[in-house]
């Protein structure tokens, strides 16, 4: 039987607020015999990006979730029950860089 992650564990916040025209990205390193679970994610730009940008969650190098962003403002995403990674795999959240001066940011919680 495979055990599930401890859902009573407090979440750990992660965030990245880079310079303009720089990807907002944060890697949660793999931990032996553990699974990362993302509960919520906020991401967006301070002004409209120059084109459609992709917000991605990758687990172990494979895209597990993605959405396109084209407008200014902060977007909030909830994952009821959590978006589960896999054992011994890193989780990477990335908001694609803008090339027109907009500043992107990401903030999320892992348990």
* Structural domains of the chain, with CATH: 19-110 (2.60.120.260)
The pLDDT, as a whole number, for residue 11 is 75
The pLDDT, as a whole number, for residue 1 is 38
For the question of whether the overall pTM of this predicted structure is more than 0.85, the answer is yes
Residues 6+ apart with CB under 8 A from 10: 111
The pLDDT, as a whole number, for residue 2 is 46
Q: What six digits make up the tokens of 89?
A: 């795999």
Q: pLDDT 10s per residue in the chain (111 long)?
A: 345 555 556 778 999 999 999 999 999 999 999 999 999 999 999 999 999 999 999 999 999 999 999 999 999 999 999 999 999 999 999 999 999 999 999 999 998
The pLDDT, as a whole number, for residue 8 is 56
Q: What angle do CA 77, 83, 89 make, to 5 degrees?
A: 130
């Amino acid at each position: 039987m495979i055990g599930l992650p401890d859902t009573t564990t407090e979440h750990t916040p992660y965030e990245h607020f880079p310079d303009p025209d720089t990807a907002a990205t944060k890697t949660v390193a793999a931990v032996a015999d553990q699974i990362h679970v993302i509960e919520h994610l906020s991401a967006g730009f301070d002004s409209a990006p120059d084109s459609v940008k992709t917000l991605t969650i990758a687990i172990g190098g494979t895209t597990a979730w993605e959405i396109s962003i084209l407008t200014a403002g902060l977007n909030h995403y909830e994952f009821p029950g959590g978006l589960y990674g896999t054992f011994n795999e890193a989780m990477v959240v990335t908001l694609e860089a803008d090339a027109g001066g907009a500043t992107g940011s990401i903030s999320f919680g892992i348990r």
